[in-house]
Amino acid sequence: MNHHNLLATIDNVTNKLIIKNLHRLFWATLIPFAMDWVGAHPLANVSVTLYSFILLISSISYQVLQREVFKIRLSKHERAPPT
């Protein structure tokens, strides 16, 4: 699931959500740079390590974003009046 589908599941946006989404997008924008460097120097330890680090942090930032969305959805259901 990409962040568009994830964010489509909520009705309201918080400041925390915006910051966490920007954090996720920042790391995602670094992936092409690192991939290009690995393509130019496939056996260099630094390029492969940087690429792996960026993918790791990008994955972690997506999980953080996902948790924030789940918190927002949970708080919405807790505040909803019983039907």
Digit-coded pLDDT (tens) for 1-29: 577 888 888 888 999 999 999 999 999 99
Question: What's the token pair of residue 14?
Answer: 């918080």
How many whole angstroms separate alpha carbon 63 and alpha carbon 51?
Answer: 19
Rounded to whole angstroms, how far apart are CA atoms 35 and 30? Answer: 9
Residues 53-69 pLDDT 10s = 999 999 999 999 999 99
Question: Which stretches of the chain are assigned E, i.e. beta strand?
Answer: none
Q: Which of 14, 55, 6 is nearest to 33 (CA)?
A: 55
Q: Which residue has the higher pLDDT, 68 or 78?
A: 68
pTM (two decimals) = 0.83
Question: Where in the chain are the domains?
Answer: 3-79
Residue with more model confidence, 1 or 71? 71
Q: Give the model's confidence band at 77: pLDDT under 50 very low, under 70 low, under 90 confident, else very high.
A: confident
